[in-house]
Amino acid sequence: MDPFKKKLLVESGITVAILATLLFGIMFLGGTITEYGNQIVALRNQFVARSGSLTALASLRSQYSSVVSRDLQIMSNAVPIKDQLINLTKEFQLLSSQSGLSSSFAFLSESPASGGSFGTIRFKLDVSGNFEKLIAFVDALQNFKYLSTFDNYSITRTSGGNGQLTTNGQIYYRQQ
C-alpha cells in the first residue's frame, strides 16, 4: 500500500474515532444535563409549593392572632369556670325579680368538663307571676349572660291573669 494512502487511512481513522468519541460525549452529557434540568424543575416546583404552604401558614397565624384570640376571649367571658357559677341561683332570682316574677331553682345534675369539651350543669327553673311578664321573661332567659340552653318551656295560665313557667336547661362551664 502506498504510504500516502496508509497515512490518509490512519489519519481518517483517528479523525473518525475522535469524532465518534466527541459525538458520544455530547449525547451522554446532553442526557445528563436534561436529567439534572428535570431535577431542578421538580425541586423548584417543590420549593414553590412549600413557599405557598408557608405563606398560608403565616396567614393563618395572622388570622389567629387577630380574630381567633379575640373570639376566644369573648368565649371565655361567655363560658365561665365552674367556680363562677356558685351564685347561679341568685342570678336567676335576680333576673326573675327584675321582671316582677318569683322563681325557684333546682340543680338536677352535672357533667364535668374534660379535655376540650365544656362541662354542664343541668337545672330546673320554675317562675310564676303575670302571664305577659312570663312571656317577656323567656326572651330574658335567651339573653342570659352565660352560655346556656333550655330544653323546653311549659307555660300554663292560672287564675287572675297569672301563669306558671317551667323549664329545664343547662349552663356550660369550662375548665380553669
Q: What is the mean pLDDT of each run of 10 residues along the chain (176 residues)?
A: 84 89 89 90 92 90 77 74 84 89 91 82 92 88 86 86 90 84
Q: So what's the pLDDT on residue 135?
A: 87
Q: So what's the pLDDT on residue 44?
A: 93
pTM recorded for the entire structure: 0.57
Q: So what's the pLDDT on residue 47?
A: 92
Q: So what's the pLDDT on residue 117?
A: 79
Q: So what's the pLDDT on residue 161?
A: 80
SS (H, E, C) the chain: CCHHHHHHHHHHHHHHHHHHHHHHHHHHHHHHHHHHHHHHHHHHHHHHHHHHHHHHHHHHHHHHHHHHHHHHHHHHHHCCEHHHHCCHHHHHHHHHHHCCCEEEEEEEEEECCECCECEEEEEEEEEEEEHHHHHHHHHHHHCCCCCEEEEEEEEEECHHHEEEEEEEEEEEEECC
